[in-house]
Amino acid sequence: MPPRSLRTIVILVATALVVFLVSSYSHRHLPVEAIQQHLPSLSRLQVPHFEVPQQLQWTTHESDETPSSPSPARYNLSDIWFPQVEKTVEDRLWVPKNNKAMRELLSCMQEGTCRPNQDRVVILGSWFVRDALLPTKFAGEHVWARSIMTALDNLGYTSIFATDNTDIVRIYQMFPSLVVAVIYEPFDLDWCLGDENCIKSDRNPWGIPIWKLLMFTYWSQPKGPLGANWTIVPEPYHKLSRGVARNTYIGYSIENTCGPHAFVPTEERSNSAYFLTKKAQWFFQSWPLDFYTAAAAATGVDFVMGLHDVTARDPDHLDKEITMKDIPFPPGTRDLGALSPSDFLSELSKHKLLIGLGAPVTSPTPYEALCLGVPFINRIRNWDRTNPDDRYSWDAQHEVLKFMDPPYVYNVFRDDKTGFIDAIQSALRTPIEGYVLADMHMSAVTARLQAVLERDLYAMAKEVLDRRKSGEEEDPLFTL
């Protein structure tokens, strides 16, 4: 199909929707209201009057007797507009998924065979969600995104991937009454809010209502334009530290990644600890070298890592790149190099301990380690010296796991050499079974996402707007 302008594409798709909805009414006796609910969103397009092409018209065979029942149209519009894609390049895996979802949605609406929630659409506008289709992507955002996609599938929703803001608007305007939520990246959400062609307003009544926008952020602080109820996060951050925004916790599961790997019995594991790191640079903020030397002497532990990025810069001169020999690796550390996500978990399951260096923070890997029966040393980077037992004051490498205790998690202050050695000794001597936190089962993630999508977001947004109009809140007004 040759390139067309956005308006042309929307008009053509809108026209197609009108045709199949009208034809469904004629053939299936669909209630008129079921058709009318979609038509107001199409009226603004000013689609010119047209004659339905002969090949798309219902036809009857003339005879001297009673006319026969109408026969189906010659073409299936859902297949014409969204054909099956047999092959695509790796970074376009969302194309066949979109076509399949749209084809099945239009077909079930026409036939009256939609499954529960199939006619409820969630637009996935985050590039992390799109990239999560690639098996080579395994950042925390990708792990979380995969759980969101799985939860949507479990709930029966139709998920449509979008590549950018223009694409999001185009998809939304195909069937605005069916879209229940748009999952946005913070940067793109800011762009949409500043674009009169994106957000709904008095000037742009066919834009996306602000109350349908959910901000997808991995971290605790950012809030969406309507506040924490519209900001979804992967961790229950508001429970972990005082003063953190009460964003909406969805969470994620590691069952799908950990589950395929067999549990390795303790006696079959090596007397070794695996470093939680992919970057050589992170050793500059790690434990002092003498901690490792003393721990190895006391326990006989071997250290293993798998680096993806061997470049590093002098912390005191960031413009100066340094060589591997100048990086403070523990003596005798074995580097396995870059491993695929599956190979990494297979390797991790063979060790008795996972040691955090201080970064990366709040990674999914310690959860996966626990699932594989590998305890975790959580580095406490800062704390209240006057009340060191106050875990809320701890600045931990993994904020969630700082509330867990041995034999699963060993929280060690960064300058506690004895505590570091004791933690390694205890972990080597005290094996654990595989363990998954209750909140991280896929059923729990699905239930939380369901609760978010079934809220009356319109009514909630109206309450926010009323508070802003009354001066109770100072944020900008908006159009419902």
Structure token pair of residue 357? 């260096």
Tokens of 52: 């339905």
- Any idea where the domains of the chain sit in the sequence? 1-61+70-77, 93-253+439-480, 256-435
**Token pair listed for 259:** 């589950």
The pair phi, psi for residue 319, each rounded to 5°, is: -85, 0
Give CA 82 to chain center in angstroms: 25
Which two three-digit tokens encode residue 446? 């699905």
350 SS3 class: coil
List Cα–Cα distances, 335 to 307, 308, 331, 427, 441, in angstroms: 7, 10, 12, 22, 32
Distance between CA atoms of residues 473 and 465, nearest Å? 9
Helices (H), 272-416: 289-299, 341-348, 365-371
> Contact 140/131 with Cβ under 8 angstroms?
no
Name the DSSP class of 183: E
Rounded-to-integer distance, Cα 428 and Cα 273, Å:
9
Kindly report the CATH class assigned to 256-435.
Answer: alpha beta
The helix (run of H) or strand (run of E) holding residue 40 is helix 40-43
Question: Residue 192: CB partners within 8 Å, gap ≥ 6?
Answer: 165, 168, 184, 198, 199, 208, 213
Return the residue matching tokens 């999914």: 364
Q: Which stretches of 271-337 are DSSP H helices?
A: 289-299
Instruction: Name the pTM for this structure.
Output: 0.81
In whole angstroms, give the CA distance from residue 239 to residue 271: 36
DSSP state of 43: H
| Tens of each residue's pLDDT in the chain, 480 residues | 444 444 554 455 555 554 444 444 444 444 444 434 443 343 333 333 444 444 444 444 444 444 455 555 566 666 766 767 766 666 678 788 999 999 999 999 989 999 999 999 999 998 899 998 888 888 899 999 999 999 999 999 999 999 999 999 999 999 999 999 999 988 888 888 888 899 999 999 999 999 999 999 998 876 788 999 999 999 998 888 777 778 999 999 999 999 999 999 999 999 999 999 998 888 888 999 999 999 999 999 999 999 988 777 766 666 777 767 778 889 899 999 999 999 999 999 999 999 999 999 999 999 999 999 999 999 999 999 999 999 999 999 999 999 999 999 999 999 999 999 999 999 999 999 999 999 999 999 999 999 999 999 999 999 999 999 999 998 899 999
DSSP state string for 92-148: GTHHHHHHHHHHHHHHHHHHT-PPTTTT-EEEE--HHHHHTTSTT--SHHHHHHHHH
Can you spell out the DSSP letters for 415-437? T-HHHHHHHHHHHHHS-------
